[in-house]
Amino acid sequence: MEKNKPCRTARRPGQTIPEAVEELLAKMTTAEKLGQMYQSIGADITTVGTTQVKEPVEELLRAGQIGSMMQVGEPHDLAKRIRHFQDIAVNESRLGIPLLFCLDVIHGFETIFPIPLAWSCCFDEELIRQAAATSAREAACCGINYIFSPMVDIPHDPRWGRVAETAGEDPWWGSRVSAALVKGMQEDGGVMACLKHYLGYAAAEAGRDYNTVEFSDSALHNTYLPPFAAGVKAGVKSVMTAFNVANGVPAVANRPLVEGVLRGELGFDGVVVSDYAAVMELMEHGVAEDEADAAEKALAATLDIEMTTNYFRRHGEALLNSGRITMEQVDAAVRRILTAKYELGVMDDPYRFLREEEIDSTVYTPEHLAQSRTLAARSAVLLKNDGVLPLAKDKKLALIGPFADSSDLFGCWCCSTRKAEVATLATGLREKGFDFTVEEGSGVQQPIEGGIERAVAAAKAADVAVLALGEDDQMSGEACSRMNITIPECQQALAEAVAVTGKPTVLVLTNGRPLLLNWYDEHMNAILEGWAPGSEGGRALADLLAGDEVPGGKLTMSFPWHTGQIPVYYNELPTGRPFVEGTDEHFQSKYLDGPNAPLYPFGYGLTYGRCVCGAVKMSGENLAPGETLTATVTVRNEGSLPARETVQLYLRDRCASLSRPVQELRGVKQVWLEPGQQAEVSFAIDEPMLRFYTARGVWASEAGGFDVMIGLDSRSAKQNKAGFTLTAGVQE
Ligand code: NOJ
């Protein structure tokens, strides 16, 4: 069909979306309705039982039996395939209902941005939003209009490989990032976003992916739900249910969670999609007897689309005939799907996302690469620096390690065909004009014969050794849980040998999760956490090493001191027997063989300047609803280089109906300070900021005392305290 030509589902002038949806619904057969609820893998296979079987996609499309389809590929090829399938759906099916085309565009389409855990560390919502918008625009001109992002799970366990896809451990910041990503994708990028994974997926027991999850009502509302609530408020059009059992019932069939909390409490009226084959997994979980039972249970929870299983389609009619499901349930789901399609604009113009002529000028452009480079530089976190950084250009370097000249910098989700073009660290340093030799020294997980010897010789011949170590793209992400969150042994052996040379050594890490870095903290002169930095990773890291960019990233997830501490996170609840440093009281909440505190806390990260945060000054002692208090600090750069700092406001509700976290992030402000420069940084505090989900099961603030903590990381903020009293609580 020709582009922009009105299609059969296009609205008549003046017709509203609800009117168009009802008109179409009235024309649909049961089979066509059930077909809308099926999301095909986009090839001639589907998930039946625990296996994938052949199915004739094109035939099903002609019969109006597929509502959406996953697709991936090289941009032009992808667009061609999408056009082909859309043509069949629009021209050859009875009603011509256009398809949605879906893809995991998690941190980039062809231009790859740093992983979400990385970009969350930049504490700049605008940059994050731009990355999402750019990714959506790149995908959209190839026909992709439904993106399975953002992931807004709140993780506490770095063994879980999918921490890489999250915005870290803080619900407040996670909520800000969630809204920024939804707006970037939907408002700026024009596609449909999808919050995932509803709910509690990150709380997998033992950090093992897909594992069971239990959470209290308080944890549900105060920890896991806020980023979903923020995404819903930002207008997200879709939510994906999680794989896991949540409080005894798999999320996809968890009626209280999906129908009750998501649709009821949060008022979400968009499309709920299952995760990949999760409806089938209801049988594995032991809550569904067979496929029909699984379909019935998922529909009862108000699931609208099943991803890659076709149980609604194949068993729906029988379930309807036997009264196990009702036409009202099916209609409600189809109504939501059709509404989303109208809102996206594909019902009026099925080809509005297929702009092949724009692909070359839109995808992987120099502007997008520049955005990615900036974001990667802003996302990196300087964990240690004794002054060796930035590197002086007249120093001879030995660049050592498996990531010295590796393009393995994309991270866990990458549909990009441009991996071979990634800027490696060696490329970045070379472009800066550094004089250096490169020695791989070790593989990522296996030693290289003679590698250590050659690396040591190179280090000895240089002024500074730069160790490029970490995890490759296969070591974090889905189904990539690790028991030992260490830098693999062969790389550690390499680092130890290089350290023995006594040469100043800088560790540049590229990886997808918090790692155990105690040994490195002791033995390295500097540590730069670069995460999986994306297409321009090597250049961005070189920018930082050379001092052309000033590091300013702050950790959004604690780096444990030992795996035995996990889960270790900054916003924990107080215990009745808090550990007090320096006391020898036995009955305290502590370990006999190590500290409670993580190695690097939430909010931590150095810059090239050295900032000092002054005492907190409050504008008053009491806060009444409707009023505002101001908390102010002076931040001064006492170093000899510029500083990019993120000043952080934490609050603590000292006494409430529920035990409240020892610290909760409630504000961030970024400052740039030249050497010797200082700035006053103020935060407004009002009553709505103090609300939480109380013991009475309502959102409210409660009168009483609050601590105000401001600092340059969560740990130092604890030592910089003031307070105020909320004179009266307010219930929402
Ligand atoms: C499984 C993952 O859990 C989910 O995040 C992703 O969107 C789907 N697969 C589709 O690829």
pLDDT in tens, 435-473: 999 999 999 999 999 999 999 999 999 999 999 999 999
Report pLDDT digits (tens) over 18-77.
999 999 999 999 999 999 999 999 888 877 777 788 889 999 999 999 999 999 999 999
288/281 Cα distance (integer angstroms)? 9
Q: Which of 124, 275, 304, 349 is catalytic?
A: 275
Burial class of 209 by CB neighbour count within 10 A (0 to 12, 13 to 18, 19+): middle
Q: Report whether pLDDT(320) > 80.
A: yes
User: Which tokens in the block code for residue 598?
Assistant: 């993580």
What's residue 691's pLDDT? 98
Q: Report whether pLDDT(387) > 60.
A: yes
Q: Report whether pLDDT(91) > 80.
A: yes
What's residue 46's pLDDT? 77
CA of 197 to the centre of ligand 1 (A): 9
**CA R_g for the chain:** 27
Residues written for the chain: 732
What is the average per-residue pLDDT within 387-413? 96
Residue 568 lies in a domain: no
Looking at the fold, whether 150 and 49 belong to one and the same domain comes out as: yes
Residue 324 lies in a domain: yes
Looking at the fold, whether 373 and 355 belong to one and the same domain comes out as: no
Alpha-carbon distances of 435 from 87, 217, 415, 430, 555, rounded to whole Å: 56, 58, 35, 8, 31
Domain that holds residue 611: 607-726
Residue 579 lies in a domain: no
Q: Report whether pLDDT(275) > 60.
A: yes
Looking at the fold, whether 629 and 693 belong to one and the same domain comes out as: yes
Q: Report whether pLDDT(1) > 70.
A: no
Going 323 to 327 to 332 to 338, the CA torsion angle's sign is: positive
CA of 161 to the centre of ligand 1 (A): 14
Report pLDDT digits (tens) over 181-193.
999 999 999 999 9
What's the mean per-residue pLDDT of the chain?
97
What's residue 51's pLDDT? 79
Residue whose CA is at the smallest distance from ligand 1 atom 3: 275
Looking at the fold, whether 169 and 75 belong to one and the same domain comes out as: yes
Mutate to test the pocket of ligand 1, among 71, 100, 104, 194 (most ligand atoms within 8 A of CB): 104
Residue 599 lies in a domain: no
Looking at the fold, whether 628 and 704 belong to one and the same domain comes out as: yes
* Longest CA span, the chain: 80
Looking at the fold, whether 274 and 423 belong to one and the same domain comes out as: no
Looking at the fold, whether 345 and 401 belong to one and the same domain comes out as: no
CA of 709 to the centre of ligand 1 (A): 38
Looking at the fold, whether 386 and 519 belong to one and the same domain comes out as: yes
Looking at the fold, whether 402 and 309 belong to one and the same domain comes out as: no
| Residue 626: band (very low, low, confident or very high) from pLDDT cuts 50, 70, 90 | very high
Of 291, 325, 359, which residue constitutes the final position of a domain? 359
For position 650, which CATH number holds? 2.60.40.10
What is the average per-residue pLDDT within 678-689? 98
The H helix count followed by the E strand count for the chain is: 22, 29
Looking at the fold, whether 546 and 665 belong to one and the same domain comes out as: no
Q: Report whether pLDDT(520) > 80.
A: yes
Residue whose CA is at the smallest distance from ligand 1 atom 1: 276
CA of 411 to the centre of ligand 1 (A): 15
Closest CA to 562 of 470, 481, 484: 484
538/377 Cα distance (integer angstroms)? 10
Count of the separate structural domains present in the chain: 3
What's residue 50's pLDDT? 74
| Residue 7: band (very low, low, confident or very high) from pLDDT cuts 50, 70, 90 | confident
Closest CA to 151 of 208, 211, 201, 203: 201
Looking at the fold, whether 91 and 223 belong to one and the same domain comes out as: yes
Q: Report whether pLDDT(3) > 60.
A: no
Looking at the fold, whether 474 and 343 belong to one and the same domain comes out as: no
For position 47, which CATH number holds? 3.20.20.300
What's residue 5's pLDDT? 57
Report pLDDT digits (tens) over 246-270.
999 999 999 999 999 999 999 999 9
Q: Report whether pLDDT(371) > 80.
A: yes
Residue 590 lies in a domain: no
- The yes-or-no answer on residue 275 being catalytic is yes
Give the CA angle between residues 281, 282, 283 to the nearest 5°.
85
What's residue 362's pLDDT? 98
For position 519, which CATH number holds? 3.40.50.1700
Residue 549 lies in a domain: yes
What is the average per-residue pLDDT within 672-681? 98
What's residue 47's pLDDT? 75
Q: Report whether pLDDT(714) > 60.
A: yes
What's residue 525's pLDDT? 98
Report pLDDT digits (tens) over 152-162.
999 999 999 99
Q: Report whether pLDDT(673) > 70.
A: yes
Secondary structure of 44-74 as H, E, C letters:
CEEEECCEEEECCHHHHHHCCCCCEEECCCC
19/34 Cα distance (integer angstroms)? 20
What's residue 352's pLDDT? 95
| Residue 6: band (very low, low, confident or very high) from pLDDT cuts 50, 70, 90 | low
676/687 Cα distance (integer angstroms)? 36
Residue whose CA is at the smallest distance from ligand 1 atom 11: 104
Closest CA to 154 of 105, 215, 103: 215
Mutate to test the pocket of ligand 1, among 69, 151, 196, 243 (most ligand atoms within 8 A of CB): 196
- Residues in contact with ligand 1 by the CB-under-6-Å rule are 104, 148, 196, 275-276, 478
| Residue 17: band (very low, low, confident or very high) from pLDDT cuts 50, 70, 90 | very high
